[in-house]
Amino acid sequence: MSESKLAGQFFDAAIGLLQRVRDEESANIAAAGSALADAVAAGGRLFAFGAGHSSLAAQDVVYRAGGLALMNLLAVPGTVGVDVMPATLGSALERVDGLAAAVLDSSPAKAGDVLVIISLSGRNALPVDMAMKARALGLTVIGVTSVAYTRETTSRHASGTFLKDHCDIVVDSKIAIGDAELTHEGIEAPFAPASTVVTSALMQAMTAAAAEQLAERGIEPPLLRSGNVDGGHEWNGRVMDRYRDRIFYRH
């Protein structure tokens, strides 16, 4: 079978976006890494939130080999993945006012912690409410979003604002409106989204920046190792025991 032209074009598009965020968002990635490192050093906890497909990048940094053991998933029931039935319910829940406040109030998150909120459009009620409530509680909020949406769409939040308007640090994923990199003659809808690739890379870059910052301060980063390498389980057991009061996915 001959090589797929469109498959190659998708790789080119994704690589181009990765290069762009590397070059244009380096200062914001470093700032996000510093915020994560500050919380780790000060005894704070780390949380990540995303709804729908944005949740994939949040889940990717929780209990992950090579990741920070202190990163916890802040889950909103019904919005974490497509396992909810019907899948369209998750999208509907993103537009419900007050849901974020209820989740935060019942979570272990408190002042001094860091919350990374991932939302491609940043326009729905849930991520905006989440950011507003988290900052009111004294958390540092890092938003990973596409700023392009704020210029070409309208907010669905009652305030008319977007996620980026309520963050201490904003990391722009540079994803274009519609999240589809390819078009082709004879295919009506654009296709091949790259937001998961780029957003996951941004999350790992922020983790790397945090580890670097901690090492520079003489603090061993609380990183997990793969359980599929010799000694990995023992290493992770020691890390989890040391930081057990700041890890919530074990209980």
Q: Each residue of 67-97: pLDDT tens digit?
A: 999 999 998 877 777 767 787 776 777 767 7
Query: How far is the C-alpha of 196 from the C-alpha of 11, rounded, in Å?
Result: 13
6 Cβ partners below 8 Å, 6+ apart? 182, 184, 192
33 Cβ partners below 8 Å, 6+ apart? 205, 206, 207, 208, 209, 210, 211, 212, 213
The pLDDT value recorded for residue 91 is 74
3-class SS of residue 126: helix
Question: DSSP per residue over 39-63, as a string?
Answer: HHHTT--EEEEE-TTHHHHHHTTSS
The DSSP element (H or E) to which 182 belongs, if any, is strand 182-184
What is the pLDDT averaged over residues 220-233? 96
Please report, in angstroms and rounded to a whole number, the separation of the first and last CA atoms in the chain. Answer: 50
pLDDT at 1 over 60: no
What is the pLDDT averaged over residues 16-36? 98
Report pLDDT digits (tens) over 91-139. Answer: 777 767 778 888 899 999 999 999 999 999 999 989 999 999 999 999 9
The DSSP element (H or E) to which 232 belongs, if any, is helix 232-242
Instruction: Catalogue the E-assigned strands of 46-139.
Output: 46-50, 71-73, 114-118
The pLDDT value recorded for residue 77 is 78
Query: How far is the C-alpha of 145 from the C-alpha of 159, rounded, in Å?
Result: 18
The pLDDT value recorded for residue 251 is 59
Axis-axis angle for helices 26-41, 5-24 (nearest 10): 70
The pLDDT value recorded for residue 225 is 97
Confidence bin at 206 (pLDDT 50/70/90)? very high
Report pLDDT digits (tens) over 140-190. Answer: 999 999 999 999 899 998 899 999 999 999 999 999 999 999 999 999 999
DSSP 8-state class, residue 192: -
Q: What is the pTM of this model?
A: 0.93
The pLDDT value recorded for residue 52 is 87
The DSSP element (H or E) to which 191 belongs, if any, is strand 187-191
Q: Are 131 and 163 in contact (CB under 8 A)?
A: yes
